[in-house]
Chains A and B, each alone.
Chain A
Amino acid sequence: MGKSFIRISVLFVLLIFLQIWLFNKIHLFGIATPLLYIYFLIKLPVTMNRNIVLLLSALMGFILDLFDYSLGLNMLALVFTGFLRYYVLNFLAPRDIFEEYSPSFSTFGRFLFIRYAATLILIHAAILLTVDTLAFIDPLRLLLKIVSSSLLTFLLVVTFESIDFDIVKR
């Protein structure tokens, strides 16, 4: 428990700082912004209590919103994604492991992890960007934004996953 608590906290702080200082300023081709902080939700232990997952999502979203001057936006998207994560896991996670473990290439296998991560990334980007653009409705641009931002985030998640961070990985 102690080890995984430290790992989760480090990931939480690290991803928020990266987002605020780096990724929020990236705006590739005028449409794509990496939303790497969703990696935090992806890496939470599979068996973690669902209420705790929801509270952590809300907290992370709220902190990001304070820095973005967009109260409620990231929080809404992360809580929704955190809620749906359980069902995605139920559907995709291998059932033959019983102890507490984090989704990763080694625990899930490459194919399953990529499907799981891509699903969460897409859900999150779709909710976040749709709510953000409610004021101006331009479906094509919105779709382009969702797809390109998800793709960029996905590439970053795979990169992160491939690098062997001792603290992030088990």
Chain B
Amino acid sequence: MRNLINFIQKNSHWLLFIILIALSVVLLIHNNEFQRSKYLAVFREVAGRVYSVSNSVESYMNLKSTNADILKRMSALEQEALGYRRTIELLNDSLREKGITFATNEDVHYRIMPARVVNNSVNKEDNYITLNKGSLDGFKPDMGVFTPKGVVGVIMSVSPHFSIVIPVLHHKYHLSCKIKDSNYFGSLTWEGGDPENTLLTGLPSHATFNPGDTILTNGYSPVFPEGIPVGVVEGALNRKTGENKSLKVKLFTDFSKLSEVMVIENIFKDEQLNLEKGVQK
């Protein structure tokens, strides 16, 4: 017995080493669940605060180019709105001639809220983004995140003042997309490496495309509405994956310069999911 205690005392570092390694492996395997858990909200809050401090300097330095982007986007939207207003007026006029009154639909399907990126990485194999708003601002897990240029990702977890986004640059994230003109759809994934290059997989082998075709979200998942830009086709991937075809897609979003983003909430998401779940049963 004394020998045993002696042995353990002498080799306690081995025991401690094995315990610590086992602990890190458990943490590593369950990382995604832990990140989603409510118990870690306190740490997310702390990390968010630390990152906000360093970000306030960075975002000030990016102000000029961000402003230019916003102005550009605003003028484009302004022009689009003018076009719509004109169409509505024309429609209203023609309807009035026929004696029909046009009830405006006040029910919005999607709500869009702005947020700022306080932390972001592109160099890991699994990247995460921290936003400066959280549950107190109405942010919830599974809301979509995008910029005027293109898709960013989806909110994974929230704390009162911050939220964590799984971007497209994460090996577990798959985004349902389609080719703009042909409407063939597939799943967008990232295989690590260059933060611009992704793959659109699972296309039928007869799908046609041209390099330069735009890739858009297809609206099949309740996270994003249809037609948010994602990237541009660079070419086919010369890798046999059974019946399916894969395309190389260059993302529109520049993840290394991300600062202002928009968060989109599908108000009818739960309704859609519940209905779909009911059918599957």
Contacts and interface: CB of A to CB of B under 8 A. Distances in A.
Contacts of A50: 13
Interface of A is mostly: helix
Nearest to A27: B123
B192 A133 contact: yes
A49 to B, nearest CB: 8
A131 B47 contact: no
Contacts of B12: 51
Contacts of A27: 122-123, 256
Interface string B123-142: 11110100000000000000
Interface stretch (A64-72, A100-108, A116-124, A156-164): A64-72
Q: For this complex, into which size category does the number of interface residues on chain B fall?
A: 35 or more
Interface string A80-105: 10010010000000000000000000
A27 B195 CA distance: 11
B28 A73 contact: yes
A70 B27 CA distance: 9
A141 interface: yes
Interface in B15-59: 16-17, 20-21, 23-31, 34-35, 43, 46-47, 50-51, 54
Interface residues of A, number: 36
A72 B25 contact: yes
Contacts of A57: 20
Given A27-B123, A83-B13, A72 B54 contact: no
A136 interface: yes
A141 B122 CA distance: 16
A9 interface: no
B86 interface: no
A138 B171 CA distance: 14
